[in-house]
Amino acid sequence: MAEQHVRDLLSGPAGVTVLRLATVHGRSPRQRLDSVVNRMTAQAVATGRIPLNGGSQRRPLVHVADVAEVLAAVLSHPDGHRVLNVGADRENYTIAQIAQTVAQAVPGTHIDRGPEQDEADARDYRTCFRRLATLFLGTCPTPLIDGVREIADAMADHQISDPDLPEYDNLRGLQACHATGRLQAVRSPECDRLYAEYASAYGGVLL
């Protein structure tokens, strides 16, 4: 829905490129630890445990540096309206495979298996990245293990002191900023209209 609204706003001579990112991992200046790879790795180093509920759910992954390179390539080669999945076909993994990769990179850790079905997060999807690979040859070459090692090293070197800080979690960070008055929610008739449209399309009230 957001993509369609952007196309409507920029209709005319402007070309719109929509980038649908796979789940991003790896070390970055504004570090996140609320995505599956980074979270598992930080928990492994901090606690020696890798929580795993289910495991058969699939996730497409992409390294943050590869995302930056794709952004640069797209900006350098604007070409009408297009939608691109950002990642690589070989970087589709199950949650269990991610946990095993983390265990390999962080010796002495234990995969702590929970219920086979994770009701809190049952998303399961495999993504095709052929269109991106055709347009920009050689993009997204960084494997999962590299991102895992970056986070593990940052934790071991105390570059990341406390992985549970709100600053590493997008939702908790926004909630903390709102609670302390550093962030205000802005409402307008247009925002309310879009909110109602989204809530109606996805079956319920959003919190």
Please report whether residue 174 resides in a domain.
no
Question: Does the model's pTM come out above 0.85?
Answer: yes
Please report whether residue 203 resides in a domain.
no
Task: Give pLDDT tens digits for 44-68.
Answer: 999 999 999 889 999 999 999 999 9
Please report whether residue 49 resides in a domain.
yes
Q: Band the pLDDT of 78: cuts 50, 70, 90.
A: confident
Q: Which of 129-133, 175-179, 182-186 has the lowest mean pLDDT?
A: 182-186
Please report whether residue 74 resides in a domain.
yes
Please report whether residue 78 resides in a domain.
yes
Please report whether residue 195 resides in a domain.
no
Q: What one-character-per-residue DSSP string does 2-54 give?
A: HHHHHHHHT-SS---EEEEE-EEES--SS----SHHHHHHHHHHHHSEEEES-
Please report whether residue 71 resides in a domain.
yes
In the prediction, which pLDDT does 121 show?
Answer: 62
**CATH number of 29's domain:** 3.40.50.720
Q: Band the pLDDT of 162: cuts 50, 70, 90.
A: very high
**Which structural domain, as residue segments, surrounds residue 41?**
15-168
Q: Per-residue pLDDT for 118 more than 70?
A: no
Please report whether residue 1 resides in a domain.
no
Q: Per-residue pLDDT for 25 more than 90?
A: yes
Q: Which helix (H) or strand (E) holds 113?
A: strand 110-113
In the prediction, which pLDDT does 125 show?
Answer: 85
Tally of domains within the chain: 1
